[in-house]
């Protein structure tokens, strides 16, 4: 046995000693750093919902998913920036629709964490088709008592409704967003689009009631719908700009909202 060991090279003896020695290796810091870096690159699944139960939070976005705050001006024209705002639960949309009709619920606080664009898009699109279809039908109901020969289905109602409603829902909130910024406030463009979009919902049931072929009742209905929508805009803009003297801009937005109601009555349900 001794002669066998003596014939072995010194390196083999050292290797054996290392193999039988207890493992005294200490955990290496570089390995931990590498694992942490690899974990940070992984996307958590499923995504954590927002405080009010809605929507996908993109990786790296702040709480509330306000993508516009982490991008430059080019982000406003990037379609991918608005993708998270279309991933919203039906229950959340229904709750916001109810709050838009009953504006004492603090609507702006509901959309502050997770605003969406899904509801405003479908509200505006639905309103366009209802104004065009019901506007023609209301004209038919008013004219059938006199002479049906002078009535024709007016296809131009669709183009007029689309131009006005889409233009109003996009341009007006953007204009007031820049105005509020100019006068020192720091609003959110996404939240403005969301709020103005939901403010149009009350005109959807109002357009059905405007089918009543009584002119006096039509004016009462549109005045009530316009007043409620204007009050909705007023309360939410006041809450949004709390602490800032923006009453002139808030009043202007409310008046413009009521003017939209008058436009609907005059051009679609005359």
Q: Across residues 233-241, what is the average pLDDT?
A: 87
> Model's pTM, two decimal places?
0.69
Contacts of 186 (CB under 8 A, 6+ apart): 180
Tell me whether residue 80 is in a domain.
no
Element (H, E) at 205: helix 203-209
Which structure tokens are listed for 176? 């007031």
Rounded to 10 degrees, the C-alpha dihedral 215/221/222/223 comes to: 110
| Tens of pLDDT, residues 95-146 | 889 888 886 667 888 888 888 999 999 999 999 999 999 998 888 887 776 6
Q: Does residue 21 register a pLDDT over 60?
A: no
Residue 11 lies in a domain: no
Q: What percent of the chain has pLDDT over 70?
A: 67
Look at residues 230, 111, 231, 249 and name the one whose alpha carbon lies nearest to residue 181: 249
pLDDT band at 11 (very low <50, low <70, confident <90, very high): very low
Instruction: List Cβ neighbours of 215 (8 Å cut-off, separation of 6 or more).
Output: 142
Q: Residue 262 falls within a domain, yes or no?
A: yes
pLDDT of residue 152: 77
Helix segments in 60-117, DSSP class H: 90-101, 107-113
Q: Is 92 inside a domain boundary?
A: yes
- Confidence class for position 266, pLDDT limits 50, 70, 90: very high
57 is a domain residue: no
Show the domain range for 258.
88-267
Q: Has residue 100 been placed in a domain?
A: yes
Number of domains in the chain: 1
Is 71 a member of any domain?
no
Q: Give a yes or no: residue 121 inside a domain.
A: yes
């Amino acid at each position: 046995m001794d002669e066998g060991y003596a014939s072995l090279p010194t390196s083999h003896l050292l290797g054996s000693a290392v193999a039988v020695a207890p493992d005294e290796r200490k955990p290496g810091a570089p390995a931990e750093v590498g694992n942490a870096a690899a974990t940070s690159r992984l996307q958590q699944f499923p995504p954590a919902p927002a405080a009010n139960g809605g929507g996908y939070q993109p990786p790296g976005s702040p709480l509330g998913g306000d993508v516009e705050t982490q991008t430059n001006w080019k982000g406003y024209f990037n379609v991918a920036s608005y993708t998270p705002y279309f991933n919203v639960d039906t229950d959340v949309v229904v709750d916001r629709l109810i709050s838009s009709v009953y504006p004492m619920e603090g609507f702006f606080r509901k959309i502050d964490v997770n605003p969406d664009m899904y509801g405003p898009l479908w509200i505006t699109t639905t309103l366009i088709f209802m104004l065009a279809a019901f506007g023609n039908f209301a004209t038919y109901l008013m004219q059938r008592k006199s002479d049906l020969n002078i009535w024709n289905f007016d296809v131009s109602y669709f183009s007029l409704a689309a131009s006005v409603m889409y233009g109003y829902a996009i341009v007006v909130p953007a204009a007031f967003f820049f105005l509020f910024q100019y006068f020192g406030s720091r609003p959110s463009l996404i939240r403005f689009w969301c709020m103005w979009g939901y403010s149009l919902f009350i005109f959807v049931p109002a357009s059905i009631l405007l089918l009543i072929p009584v002119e006096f009742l039509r004016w009462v209905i549109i005045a009530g719908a316009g007043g409620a929508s204007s009050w909705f805009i007023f309360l939410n803009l006041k809450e949004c700009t709390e602490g800032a003297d923006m009453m002139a801009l808030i009043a202007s937005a409310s008046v413009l909202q009521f003017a939209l109601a008058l436009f609907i009555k005059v051009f679609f349900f005359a």
